[in-house]
Structure 1
Amino acid sequence: MNETALLRPAWTPLTIALMVIGFVVFWPLGLVMLAYIIWGDRLNMRKGDWKRSAERAFGSCKRNMRNADYTMHSTGNAAFDEWRRSEMERIEAERRKLDEMRAEFDRYTDELRRARDREEFDRFMRERGGNFNASGSNPAPEA
C-alpha cells in the first residue's frame, strides 16, 4: 500500500479528524471511518472486485426500486398512463442492454488483466532464468 497517500488506513491526523466529523455529522459515518482505520489495510481489492461486491450487496435494492416504478398509480388519463407504461418498458429494455454491455466489458477487461499478468509473470520467469514453463510447473528433469 502507498504509505505516502494522504488518506490511508492508519491513525493519521486526517483519518482521526474524518472519524470525529463522521461521528458528529452522522454516527454511522464515524463507525465506517473507524473500521477503515482499523481494518482498511486488509481491503486491498481491485476496482472491479469492489464494483462486483457492491453490485451483489445493493443489486436487490436497485431491482426493488425499479419494480416500485412499475407500480405507479393511475393518473386517470388512460392515454398518458399507456404512454408512461410504454416509455418505462423502453427505458427498462435499454437499461438491460446497457447492463449486458457493462458485464461484457467487465469480462473483457478481466481477460486483458489476466493476459497482462500472465505476460508479466512469464517475462519475470524468463529474466530470472527459472526452470518453469508457462503453466508454472517444473519440467521433467533431463537425463
Structure 2
Amino acid sequence: MTPAFPAAVTGGPRNPLRRAADWLDDRGKPAWIAAVVLGFIFVWPVGLAILAYMIWSKRMFSKSCAQRRAEFSAHRFGGAYRSSGNSAFDAYKTETLKRLEDEQSAFEGFLQRLREAKDKQEFDRFMDERAHKAAEPATVEDPAPRT
C-alpha cells in the first residue's frame, strides 16, 4: 500500500520545499517576510500560500523577543561552555562568563530600578499638579449685571 501523501509532503527525503523552508528558517523571520513579499509581487497565489504556511506553522507569531535573544546568544556563543582541553583556561573562562552574567543581571536590575524611579517621579509630579489645581479656588466670573 502506498502512503496517502508523497514523500515531498510528509517530509520524507530532503525535498526542495523542505530545504527551502530550512534555508529560510536559518535566516529568520525577515527572510520569510521577504519570501512572502516576493511571492505576492511575482505570483500572488505563491505569496498567499507562503503567508498561510507561516501562520499555520506558527512561524509568524511564535517567539518572544527574550526567546530570540536567548537563541541568538546561544547560537553566537554556542561554543562558550565547551571544554577547550586546557583546564586552567576553562576555569578562567567559566569564571569570566559567570562574572559577566552577574554584571548583566545587576545592570538589568539597575535599569529596572531606574525606570521605576522615573515612573514614581512622574506620578508624584502628576499628583502634586492635581493637588495644586484642586487647592486653587475656583474663580467664577460674576454674570453681567442686569439692568
* TM-score of the superposed pair, with normalisation by structure 1: 0.43
TM-score under structure 2 length normalisation = 0.42
From the CA coordinates, give the structure whose radius of gyration is larger. 2
